[in-house]
Chain A
Amino acid sequence: MSGTNNLLGRLSESLAQAVVKAGLSTVMVEARRRMPASGVVLTPDLVLSADHVVERDDDIRLLFQDGKDSAAQVVGRDPGSDLVLLQASGGGLSPADRAPEAALVGQLALALGRPSPEGIQASLGIVSAAGGPLRTGRGGLLESYLRTDTIPYPGFSGGPLVDAGGRVMGINTSGLTRSSSLTIPAVLAWGVAEALERHGSVPRGYLGIRSQPVTIPALQREALGREQVNGLLLVGIEERSPAERGGLMVGDILVAMAGVPVNDPDELLAMLVGAAAGQSSTLQVLRGGENIEIQVEIGERK
């Protein structure tokens, strides 16, 4: 094209370069009967992939961009977020570059996969939505997720979603929802990987309550002294649970945990993932016309 800056051509080249760069840390993961899937290198010997594509614990093989391969072992699994951490026996892998900021709706995105030894594969699109929390149907809950209009080709699960600079914005999986694919944001995925490396599993906090969201009545809202519309009405307390030991009662309206307002049960679940387990926390509760604080020792969901 004459008389232009050839922006389209430059954009195209940048995208191809992003694929080359991110392709160095996108590996083939062979651990199921069906075709292999993909994984992302986190450290020189750790690879993150989708839990549902690693069907076996033994005889796992990784294949890298340079054609070399390596055996791998499962470090830990988190079915709730459909992530699995693998350790390559060889080491010396090229870790992925992580995007420093959260993905923005509308930004360009490439989904990458390496489901075959033929080479890296890609699909181009944009970040369509950023949402959460999302119940994943396996007892898990994603605090946040991304959706894109990229095509989730067979074997793309476990592969990265990268920005135009080839930096990882998240891990793609089609194993969490029945009809579509979604992306686990990098900050969440890296956090899960850290927990898996340390504990072999992701600790999930447990209170032992059953609750439903309610509109806080006007009188009680006055006692609360802030503009919070919804809270959690406790409709059940499990015996010998952290909630019972802490003194929570049926009929209480839970409005905050550790100073953070709680508007619905999913928000509470999200707060209970990760660090909260085993720690003491302050719950803010409306009981009758009173605004009270209760200390609980958060348990761990087994």
Chain B
Amino acid sequence: MNHLLSALADEANAVVGQVQRSLVVLRNGRRGYGAGFIWRSDGLIVTNNHVVGKARTLAVTSDGNEYPPKILARDPQIDLALLKIEADDLPAAVIGDSRLLQVGEIVMAIGHPWGQPGAVTTGCISALGKAQTSGKRRGELVSVDIIRSDVRLAPGNSGGPLVDARGSVVGINTMLVGGDQGIALPSHVVEAFIENQLGEDSD
């Protein structure tokens, strides 16, 4: 009936399907469901630090396999954690350049809100700015780039990807600050963290 709208729907469906392949469920005992995604095909997974917690975490990939991940690095200040699972040829997410983002762009959050696996919510980039988070030393404040969006987020989205209209990951959904805006840590911050922690190029 309406060619443009149905073509848009088909494309959105394809984009979501592609991202879902890189999505990981992080099961964390009683603390439940968190999200993460495959950053590199050799098993490098990016998620939120608070999703990993203290208990034993299990990573479930989109093909249903379960892995006990090794924690490579974690940072409570920017709520990031790097995990590694023993696998090869995993479907890595396409990483976009978050420094090129513009307010108004369409973005989608993919995760497990309220335990619903692989669910997608959509909206636009609302603002590009900075947030203050506590630093490593007591009383120290660190400024970090953030993406604000009007995408609806819920528990279970934490650690999951925020992707642009092409399905490239531009951020990681985080509950860094409260309010009714979704907050994501831009992918360029994740790249810098990986380089800094693992002493290597992120790609």
Chain A residues packing against B (C-beta within 8 Å): 1, 4-9, 11-13, 15-20, 23, 110, 116, 118-125, 150-151, 153
A122 to B165, Cβ gap below 8 A?
no
- List of 3 A-B pairs having minimum Cβ-Cβ separation, nearest first: A19-B104, A124-B124, A12-B165
Most interface-central of A9, A20, A118 (chain B CB within 10 A): A9
Q: How far is the CB of A166 from chain B (nearest CB, A)?
A: 9
B164 to A124, Cβ gap below 8 A?
no
B165 to A124, Cβ gap below 8 A?
no
In the bound complex, how far is the Cα of B8 from the Cα of A7, in angstroms? 6
Interfacial chain A residues near B126, Cβ < 8 Å: 121-123, 151, 153
B124 to A122, Cβ gap below 8 A?
yes
List 27 A-B residue pairs with CB atoms under 8 Å apart, sorted by A's residue number: A4-B7, A4-B10, A5-B7, A7-B7, A8-B12, A8-B165, A11-B106, A12-B105, A12-B165, A16-B104, A16-B105, A23-B103, A110-B124, A116-B129, A119-B129, A120-B127, A122-B103, A122-B124, A122-B125, A122-B126, A123-B123, A123-B124, A123-B126, A124-B123, A150-B150, A151-B180, A153-B126
B11 to A8, Cβ gap below 8 A?
yes
Interfacial chain A residues near B18, Cβ < 8 Å: 1
Instruction: List 16 extra interface pairs beyond A8-B8, A124-B150, A153-B126, CB under 8 A.
Output: A1-B166, A7-B4, A7-B7, A9-B166, A11-B8, A12-B106, A15-B104, A116-B129, A118-B130, A119-B103, A121-B103, A122-B103, A122-B104, A122-B125, A123-B150, A124-B106
- Give per-residue flags for B86-111: 1 if the beta carbon is below 8 A from chain A beta carbons, else 0: 00000000000000001111100000
Interface residues of B in 146-203 (CB under 8 A from A): 148, 150, 164-167, 180-181
Residue of chain A at shortest CB distance from B104 = A19
Interfacial chain B residues near A118, Cβ < 8 Å: 127-130
Report whether over half of chain A's contact residues are helix, strand or loop; otherwise say mixed. mixed
- Within 8 Å of chain A (Cβ to Cβ): is B85? no
Q: How far is the CB of B164 from chain A (nearest CB, A)?
A: 7
- Within 8 Å of chain A (Cβ to Cβ): is B60? no
In the bound complex, how far is the Cα of B167 from the Cα of A13, in angstroms? 14
B129 to A9, Cβ gap below 8 A?
no
Q: How far is the CB of A299 from chain B (nearest CB, A)?
A: 46
Interface residues of B in 1-19 (CB under 8 A from A): 4, 7-8, 10-12, 14-15, 18
A12 to B15, Cβ gap below 8 A?
no
In the bound complex, how far is the Cα of B8 from the Cα of A1, in angstroms? 12
In the bound complex, how far is the Cα of B103 from the Cα of A1, in angstroms? 22
In the bound complex, how far is the Cα of B104 from the Cα of A119, in angstroms? 12
A15 to B105, Cβ gap below 8 A?
yes
In the bound complex, how far is the Cα of B18 from the Cα of A153, in angstroms? 32
In the bound complex, how far is the Cα of B18 from the Cα of A20, in angstroms? 30
